[in-house]
């Protein structure tokens, strides 16, 4: 029986779609992290501890994608991204449930974006990532033909992915410095930057 994966041209097209999907996802996540950092540095909204863990989860999703562009697509890399997506979902759901009933010391903090607070957005983002992976698996199918094609066969895509990946690494380092200034080696709070007092 002949399948679409028997055609080399179709395999190349599907592999291109796979890498384009991964690049788009990494770019969107980089944009989300940049928006969060803009809210922090531009509007003085310090991230809470669970918000910082949600950033960690988003960086973890990006690591799986960076590995795919560095070493070729594999479901192990997809697994890394999915583990951190589930972590993002658990943390954001728990934070939403913590703040859903306002009481002293527990209420949504930060500016609403389109009427929705950040932890609720995190749930939406996590569900979108899971849905996107599910749709990709449905559309592109099995591993064999996708992992045979290395990203280096698409020079433009690889170059853009390299730049976006570098940007993700740079903002991760900036976040690390920022966390040190905000929390020092102690518990994190949203009152002020502990090292700038």
Partner 1 sequence: MMFAVFVVLSCALILGYMGRRALSLASMFICFVLAVWLFLWEIYSPEYGFRMPWIQVEHIPTPHNTDNGKV
Residues near partner 1, by CB under 8 A: 49-50, 52-53, 56-57, 59-60, 62-63, 66-67, 70-71, 80, 83-84, 87, 90-91, 94, 97-98, 100-101, 103, 165-166, 168-169, 172-173, 175-176, 179-180, 183-185, 187-188
Is residue 66 within 8 A of residue 58, CB to CB? The reply is no
User: What are the beta bridge partners of residue 103?
Assistant: 106
Min dist. Cβ of residue 70 to partner 1 (A): 5
Q: Compute the least distance from the CB of residue 69 to partner 1, in Å.
A: 10
State which residue, 53 or 123, has the beta carbon closest to partner 1: 53
CB of 155 to partner 1, least distance (A): 18
Pick 8 or 184: Cβ nearer partner 1: 184
The CB-of-182 to partner 1 minimum distance in angstroms stands at 8
Q: Which is nearer to partner 1, 187 or 197 (CB)?
A: 187
Task: Give the Cβ contact number of residue 97 at 10 Å.
Answer: 10
Please report how the helices 75-99 and 49-71 are oriented relative to each other, as an axis angle in degrees rounded to 10.
170
CB closer to partner 1, 28 vs 169: 169
CB of 142 to partner 1, least distance (A): 23
Give the phi and the psi of residue 103 in degrees, each rounded to 5: -155, 165
Q: Residue 176 class from Cβ within 10 Å (0-12 exposed, 13-18 middle, 19+ buried)?
A: exposed
Give the residue with the Cβ less far from partner 1, 44 or 104. Answer: 104
Contact by Cβ (8 Å): 160, 146: no
**How many residues does the structure list for the chain?**
197
The helix/strand/coil state of 129 is: helix
């Amino acid at each position: 029986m002949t399948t679409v994966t028997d055609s080399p041209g179709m395999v190349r097209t599907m592999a291109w779609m796979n890498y384009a999907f991964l690049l788009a996802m990494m770019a969107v996540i980089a944009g989300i992290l940049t928006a969060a950092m803009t809210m922090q540095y531009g509007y003085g909204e310090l991230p809470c501890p669970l918000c910082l863990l949600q950033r960690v989860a988003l960086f973890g999703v990006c690591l799986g994608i960076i590995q795919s562009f560095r070493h070729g697509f594999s479901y192990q890399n997809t697994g890394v991204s999915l583990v951190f997506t589930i972590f993002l979902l658990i943390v954001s759901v728990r934070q939403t449930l913590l703040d859903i009933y306002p009481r002293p010391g527990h209420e949504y903090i930060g500016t609403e974006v389109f009427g929705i607070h950040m932890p609720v957005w995190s749930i939406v983002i996590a569900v979108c990532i899971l849905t996107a992976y599910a749709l990709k698996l449905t559309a592109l199918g099995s591993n064999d033909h996708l992992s045979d094609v290395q990203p280096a066969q698409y020079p433009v895509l690889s170059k853009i992915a390299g730049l976006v990946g570098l940007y993700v690494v740079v903002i991760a380092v900036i976040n690390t410095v920022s966390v040190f200034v905000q929390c020092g080696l102690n518990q994190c709070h949203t009152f002020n930057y502990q090292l700038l007092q």
